[in-house]
Structure 1
Amino acid sequence: MRKQRLKSRTSLIQGLCFLVFGLIVIQLFRLQVVNHKIYAAKANQQQIMKSTIFAKRGEIYFLDGDTPVPIVMNKKTYTISIDPSLVVKKREEITKKIDEIVGAYRVKTGWDEVFADPERKYFVVAKNVPYRETNNLKNADLTGVYEQETTTRVYPEGEMAAQVLGFVNQEGEGQYGVEGSLNKELTGENGLLKTVKDSNNVPLTIGNENVKIPAKDGKNLVLTIDRNIQKKAEEAVDEVTKKFNITYGSAIVMNPATGQILAMAGKPGYNPAEYAKVTDAKVFQTDVTMNAFNPASVCKTFAIAAAIDSGVMTPETTYYNTDKLVIDGWPIENAIKGHTGEINMQTVLTYSLNTGSIQALKLLGGSASEITYQGKEKLYDYYHNRFNLGKYTGIELPETKGSIVPPNDIDATDARYANMTFGQSLDLSIIQVASAFSAVVNGGEYYRPTLIAGEMKDGKFVRTELAKADHDALNKNDTSRTMRQMLHTGRLVFPNVKGYDEDYYVGGKTGTAQTVKNGKYSFDETIGTYVGFGAKSLEETPDYVIMTKVWSDNRKLDGGMNAKPIFDEISKYMINYNKVRR
Structure 2
Amino acid sequence: MIRPGKNGKRQEAYVSRAARNDARAVLALKLPMRRARFVQFMLLAGFAVLAARALYLQGLSNEFLQRQGEARYERTLTLPASRGKVLDRNGVVLAASIPARAIWAIPEDVSATPEQLRQLGSLLDIPERELRARLIDSDRSFVYLKRQLPVDVAEQVRALGIAGVHQERETMRIYPQGEVMAHVVGFTNIDGHGQEGVELAFDESLAGTPGSRRVIKDRLGRVVEDVQMIRPPVDGADLRLSIDSRLQYLAFNHLRETIDTYKAKAGSAVVLDARTGEVLALANLPTYDPARRVGLTGDSLRNRVFTDQFEPGSTMKPFSVALALDQKRIAPTTTFKTYGGRMTFAGHTITDVSRSTELDITGILQKSSNVGMTQISERLAARDMWNTFSALGFGQAPALGFPGVAAGRLRPWERWRPIEKATMSYGYGLSLSLAQLARAYTAFARDGDVASISLIKRDSAPTTTPVYTPQTARNVRGMLEVAAGFARAQVPGYRVAGKSGTARKIIDGAYSRTRYTASFVGFAPVSNPRIVVAVRIDEPGGDVYYGGRVAAPAFSSIMGGSLRLLGVEPDAQFQTLRVAESQAAQAGAAQ
Superposition TM-score tier, normalisation by shorter sequence = 0.7 to 0.9
- Give the 3-state SS of the residue equivalent to 1:361 in structure 2: helix
- Give the 3-state SS of the residue equivalent to 1:293 in structure 2: coil
| 1:570 aligned partner, one-letter code | I
Partner residue in 2 for 1:183: 203
| 2:202 aligned partner, one-letter code | L
Partner residue in 2 for 1:8: 35
| 1:75 aligned partner, one-letter code | I
- Cα deviation, residue 24, structure 1: 8.9
- Cα deviation, residue 51, structure 1: 2.6
Partner residue in 2 for 1:490: 483
Question: Matches of residues 74-473 of structure 1 in structure 2 within 5 Å?
Answer: 74-80=97-103, 90-91=108-109, 100=120, 115=141, 126-139=146-159, 147-198=167-218, 201-205=221-225, 209-278=227-296, 280-322=297-339, 323-334=341-352, 336-341=353-358, 343-364=359-380, 375-384=381-390, 386-398=391-403, 399-409=405-415, 412-453=416-457, 464-473=458-467
| 2:265 aligned partner, one-letter code | T
Partner residue in 2 for 1:57: 83
- Give the 3-state SS of the residue equivalent to 1:195 in structure 2: strand
| 1:421 aligned partner, one-letter code | S
- Give the 3-state SS of the residue equivalent to 1:547 in structure 2: strand
Task: Give the whole-Å Cα distance in 2 for the aligned partners of 1:469 and 1:192.
Answer: 41
Q: Compared with structure 1, are the counterparts of its residues 104 and 4 closer, same or farther at alpha carbon in structure 2 (3 Å cutoff)?
A: same
| 1:223 aligned partner, one-letter code | L
Task: Give the whole-Å Cα distance in 2 for the aligned partners of 1:32 and 1:329.
Answer: 100
- Give the 3-state SS of the residue equivalent to 1:388 in structure 2: coil
Task: Give the whole-Å Cα distance in 2 for the aligned partners of 1:98 and 1:59.
Answer: 37
Task: Give the whole-Å Cα distance in 1 for the aligned partners of 2:152 and 2:487.
Answer: 61
Task: Give the whole-Å Cα distance in 2 for the aligned partners of 1:506 and 1:352.
Answer: 17
- Give the 3-state SS of the residue equivalent to 2:148 in structure 1: strand
- Cα deviation, residue 504, structure 1: 1.8
Q: Compared with structure 1, are the counterparts of its residues 427 and 536 closer, same or farther at alpha carbon in structure 2 (3 Å cutoff)?
A: closer
Deviation readout 1:25-58 (Å, 9 max, x if unpaired): 6899799999986x76553242213332222121
- Cα deviation, residue 144, structure 1: 8.4
- Give the 3-state SS of the residue equivalent to 2:521 in structure 1: strand
Q: Alpha carbon RMSD of aligned pairs, Å?
A: 3.5
Determine if contact 1:98/1:137 at 8 Å carries over to the other structure: no
TM-score, normalised relative to structure 1: 0.81
- Cα deviation, residue 419, structure 1: 1.3
Determine if contact 2:247/2:281 at 8 Å carries over to the other structure: yes
Question: Matches of residues 8-87 of structure 1 in structure 2 within 5 Å?
Answer: 8-9=35-36, 11-12=38-39, 14-15=41-42, 18=45, 22=49, 42-63=68-89, 67-80=90-103
- Cα deviation, residue 274, structure 1: 1.0
Report which of the two structures shows the higher radius of gyration computed on alpha carbons: 2
Match of 1:527 among 472, 493, 517: 517
Task: Give the whole-Å Cα distance in 2 for the aligned partners of 1:13 and 1:103.
Answer: 74
Deviation readout 1:499-554 (Å, 9 max, x if unpaired): x42332211101001111112211111100000111152xx3x0111000112387
- Cα deviation, residue 441, structure 1: 2.4
Task: Give the whole-Å Cα distance in 2 for the aligned partners of 1:92 and 1:138.
Answer: 14
- Give the 3-state SS of the residue equivalent to 1:501 in structure 2: coil
Task: Give the whole-Å Cα distance in 2 for the aligned partners of 1:31 and 1:422.
Answer: 91
Task: Give the whole-Å Cα distance in 1 for the aligned partners of 2:201 and 2:535.
Answer: 24
- Give the 3-state SS of the residue equivalent to 1:250 in structure 2: strand
Q: Compared with structure 1, are the counterparts of its residues 242 and 554 closer, same or farther at alpha carbon in structure 2 (3 Å cutoff)?
A: closer
- Give the 3-state SS of the residue equivalent to 1:3 in structure 2: coil
Task: Give the whole-Å Cα distance in 2 for the aligned partners of 1:211 and 1:353.
Answer: 72
Task: Give the whole-Å Cα distance in 1 for the aligned partners of 2:519 and 2:428.
Answer: 13
Partner residue in 1 for 2:531: 544
Q: Compared with structure 1, are the counterparts of its residues 243 and 450 closer, same or farther at alpha carbon in structure 2 (3 Å cutoff)?
A: same
| 1:5 aligned partner, one-letter code | P
Deviation readout 1:383-405 (Å, 9 max, x if unpaired): 01x10111111124221111100
- Cα deviation, residue 363, structure 1: 1.5
Task: Give the whole-Å Cα distance in 1 for the aligned partners of 2:312 and 2:561.
Answer: 25
Partner residue in 2 for 1:508: 498
- Cα deviation, residue 17, structure 1: 5.5
Task: Give the whole-Å Cα distance in 1 for the aligned partners of 2:470 and 2:29.
Answer: 127
Stretch moving more, 19-28 or 125-134: 19-28
Determine if contact 1:395/1:448 at 8 Å carries over to the other structure: no
Determine if contact 1:237/1:566 at 8 Å carries over to the other structure: yes
| 2:455 aligned partner, one-letter code | L
Task: Give the whole-Å Cα distance in 2 for the aligned partners of 1:19 and 1:439.
Answer: 97
Q: Compared with structure 1, are the counterparts of its residues 41 and 103 closer, same or farther at alpha carbon in structure 2 (3 Å cutoff)?
A: farther
Determine if contact 2:88/2:245 at 8 Å carries over to the other structure: yes
Q: Compared with structure 1, are the counterparts of its residues 140 and 572 closer, same or farther at alpha carbon in structure 2 (3 Å cutoff)?
A: closer
Matched, 1:564 2:584: no
Partner residue in 1 for 2:589: none
Determine if contact 2:101/2:151 at 8 Å carries over to the other structure: yes
- Give the 3-state SS of the residue equivalent to 2:325 in structure 1: helix
| 2:514 aligned partner, one-letter code | D
Task: Give the whole-Å Cα distance in 1 for the aligned partners of 2:150 and 2:336.
Answer: 72
Q: Sequence identity, in percent?
A: 24
Partner residue in 1 for 2:21: none
Determine if contact 1:289/1:429 at 8 Å carries over to the other structure: yes
Task: Give the whole-Å Cα distance in 2 for the aligned partners of 1:31 and 1:428.
Answer: 77
Determine if contact 2:262/2:540 at 8 Å carries over to the other structure: no
Q: Compared with structure 1, are the counterparts of its residues 263 and 48 closer, same or farther at alpha carbon in structure 2 (3 Å cutoff)?
A: same
Q: Compared with structure 1, are the counterparts of its residues 347 and 20 closer, same or farther at alpha carbon in structure 2 (3 Å cutoff)?
A: farther
Determine if contact 1:56/1:150 at 8 Å carries over to the other structure: no
Determine if contact 2:262/2:541 at 8 Å carries over to the other structure: no
